[in-house]
Structure 1
């Protein structure tokens, strides 16, 4: 057999009965059995996963190799085993819980061949779980991680040009128990000669398991900090300091780090709360910049400021405010042409938190909650500030209010 177009690497652990539909979706691919191969790795399953894979390999028209190994403790080991055995021009990492859209490989390979790109994203939808959405607005023949929203989908279920992976010796980190795919995929984005996006066809169904055995749902909070650290280190090693690095750092901060300082924090012991701050502070010391801060919403920025200062008392008050979904007042400083959200401790002398932490950026703001500062807000001055800060729709509402004297 010649070189296949796609090697499908399937790492499987306790994957029954989900594995059945997963493999059926590979056999249903319109690209044809002669253009694919499967490398399936049973990672020490005890539920019949390995036996089912062997029966499939004996009966399927798709060339299939099965490896049965002792449990490695995470998805990286099976993926690395499969990657070493891959012979295809492209590699696709398919989780045994999930399944493909019928034309996924045909469309993705065509996209990569047409544009010479090294990574292709196919549209993902969730089944009994959420899935990323912001990157599927339209097909992108050629883009990169700085010009699109692809940084917000870092799962491993992408089409990767195998030559890219072998040239850079890329593998999944086996010391990480969660977020290993985010590190791998971000590196691939940054090293790739172009990325393509297939947005007009569902290529991948991300399945929420009923038995709760998804690895991303298990493990201690310490694993999340390990993941955030690894992601940040990868970005810093490949992108010089500056706006481009800051734009990428937003992803591990928002997706991996900040959830550790959400409402769940209020239910945890003081020991865990303080330990989380200890784990986060070195990351903020190393990578926090004003450029990164500007990419966050005000309440996110404020929480991380409290963390960076080691102020657990302030942090808990802010988290409680966010949990209660209280709409903050919007303070429009006409002299500075700046809008602020009056979140907890805003301009509290005892707290000493700089105004810039509260600066409004892209939040949905209500003009009805505006508090004017800097004297009588002349219409033109306020309207200009509002258009820049709040957007056209809200600025029109601000303009209508701008001629009114603030209530005493």
Structure 2
């Protein structure tokens, strides 16, 4: 690295981003890390609302070294991100969406964490502005998070700090053939290939803005795009991990985040043709990646819905979704140390859904009834042992007296 190498290249892909772009750029200009340690690579992806002109005006007056590239519309966020990545010079890169903005200390804190921990990906706490944002991964700051057991696998958006050397070494780029989920594919690959993942949770680094016009890419597009995204992510996981617990733990993400919503209440508003098409698209994914290790870690209702998908039972799936939509509570059934939730078609021999789909399990897939019984038994044994010890001590004390 030369003396002129910035710590961070902030890559901003922008398409019809006004007026949100104004605050976005101001937030980079206000970073406490200082203008001499960052650069902006801004890519106007064929905007028609003055976005490109505003970028050029900003570049002409700001103290932050800024390059503006104007290109024909690529149809998605991957194109401008790849253009910016190819031009970036920083030790790290940060992908900032033009609708969003940074906390003032964000880049300083993220770089300090990456340098201290020696990790290749650093996540900064994100909050939503007029929209929801993931929360479960921001409970504490962690120098090295376990990507398999922690919730960092549920935040795979691109708005993170990446060590550029990792991306260059592996020739990593965003998949421009995907119209949704391209950031998840890129980020998870970085998780898997990198030297570690850090979490900065004690400061709000990123503000995720909900646009009033609803033009976020994640809110648009056909359901078919979601299946393309799930397929790509599952194939990536399988390519990096052999069958087993670690693969199952990461497979939870595409099953829960991408596939499950396609087989929920939305089905009640869609035609039977759409349902059958969804089942057809899901079939090869279920055959390849639906395992007892994945199923056992899901909530009962989620496991049951996906079991119906795996067994190609669309009518039964609709019955279960309707039951859930109506807010009904299933009866609990206990038998042989196991506990079940009797959702529709439970133990219906004409349907043949296995009991395991209805089991009530703990967080790690262990049976709740068996666990409670084991704890009660252990408690009784411990109380008996303690009682015997006390009696022995009393007898010794009386004998000594």
TM-score when normalising by structure 2: 0.90
1:249: which partner in 2? 251
Displacement after TM superposition at 1:144 (Å) = 3.0
Q: Please give the alpha-carbon distance, in whole angstroms, between the structure 2 residues aligned to 1:190 and 1:154.
A: 12
Q: Please give the alpha-carbon distance, in whole angstroms, between the structure 2 residues aligned to 1:59 and 1:329.
A: 67
1:378: which partner in 2? none
Q: Please give the alpha-carbon distance, in whole angstroms, between the structure 2 residues aligned to 1:279 and 1:176.
A: 16
SS in 1 for 2:212: coil
2:135 equivalent among 121, 133, 136:
133
2:372 equivalent among 384, 387, 404:
387
Q: Please give the alpha-carbon distance, in whole angstroms, between the structure 2 residues aligned to 1:103 and 1:8.
A: 14
* Residue 35 in structure 1 maps to residue 37 in structure 2: yes
1:306/1:215 CA distance change after superposition, 3 Å: same
Larger Rg: 2
Q: Please give the alpha-carbon distance, in whole angstroms, between the structure 2 residues aligned to 1:250 and 1:146.
A: 10
Is the Cα contact below 8 Å between 2:11 and 2:42 reproduced in 1?
Answer: yes
Q: Deviations over 1:200-246 (max 9, x none)?
A: 00000001111011011001010000000001001101111101000
Q: How does 1:250-269 map to 2 (within 5 A)?
A: 250-269=252-271
1:119/1:388 CA distance change after superposition, 3 Å: farther
SS in 2 for 1:340: strand
Is the Cα contact below 8 Å between 2:361 and 2:368 reproduced in 1?
Answer: no
1:346: which partner in 2? 346
Q: How does 1:314-333 map to 2 (within 5 A)?
A: 314-333=316-335
Deviation above 6 Å: which 4+ runs of structure 1? Answer: none
Displacement after TM superposition at 1:4 (Å) = 0.1
Q: Please give the alpha-carbon distance, in whole angstroms, between the structure 1 residues aligned to 2:338 and 2:202.
A: 40
Q: How does 1:277-292 map to 2 (within 5 A)?
A: 277-292=279-294
1:188 equivalent among 183, 190, 204:
190
Instruction: Give the length in aligned residue pairs.
Output: 372
Q: Please give the alpha-carbon distance, in whole angstroms, between the structure 1 residues aligned to 2:146 and 2:80.
A: 28
Q: Please give the alpha-carbon distance, in whole angstroms, between the structure 2 residues aligned to 1:51 and 1:362.
A: 56
Is the Cα contact below 8 Å between 2:5 and 2:90 reproduced in 1?
Answer: yes
RMSD, matched Cα? 1.7
Displacement after TM superposition at 1:341 (Å) = 1.1
1:172: which partner in 2? 174
SS in 1 for 2:360: coil
2:116: which partner in 1? 114
Q: Please give the alpha-carbon distance, in whole angstroms, between the structure 1 residues aligned to 2:33 and 2:328.
A: 52
SS in 1 for 2:99: coil
Is the Cα contact below 8 Å between 2:333 and 2:342 reproduced in 1?
Answer: yes
Q: Please give the alpha-carbon distance, in whole angstroms, between the structure 1 residues aligned to 2:356 and 2:122.
A: 39
Q: Deviations over 1:302-324 (max 9, x none)?
A: 11111122211101101111212
2:55: which partner in 1? 53
Q: Please give the alpha-carbon distance, in whole angstroms, between the structure 1 residues aligned to 2:49 and 2:218.
A: 20
Is the Cα contact below 8 Å between 2:94 and 2:159 reproduced in 1?
Answer: yes
Q: Please give the alpha-carbon distance, in whole angstroms, between the structure 2 residues aligned to 1:147 and 1:284.
A: 22
Q: Please give the alpha-carbon distance, in whole angstroms, between the structure 2 residues aligned to 1:5 and 1:147.
A: 31
SS in 2 for 1:62: coil
Is the Cα contact below 8 Å between 1:144 and 1:189 reproduced in 2?
Answer: no
1:302/1:77 CA distance change after superposition, 3 Å: same
Displacement after TM superposition at 1:386 (Å) = 5.3
Q: Please give the alpha-carbon distance, in whole angstroms, between the structure 2 residues aligned to 1:34 and 1:102.
A: 15
SS in 1 for 2:96: strand
Displacement after TM superposition at 1:383 (Å) = 9.4
TM-score when normalising by structure 1: 0.89
Q: Please give the alpha-carbon distance, in whole angstroms, between the structure 1 residues aligned to 2:368 and 2:285.
A: 39
2:64: which partner in 1? 62
1:295: which partner in 2? 297
Q: Please give the alpha-carbon distance, in whole angstroms, between the structure 2 residues aligned to 1:137 and 1:300.
A: 25
Of residues 87-96 and 297-306 in structure 1, the stretch that sits farther from structure 2 once superposed is: 297-306
1:93 equivalent among 89, 92, 95:
95
SS in 1 for 2:329: coil
2:361: which partner in 1? 361
Is the Cα contact below 8 Å between 2:149 and 2:249 reproduced in 1?
Answer: no
1:80: which partner in 2? 82
Q: Please give the alpha-carbon distance, in whole angstroms, between the structure 1 residues aligned to 2:149 and 2:194.
A: 14
Displacement after TM superposition at 1:325 (Å) = 2.1
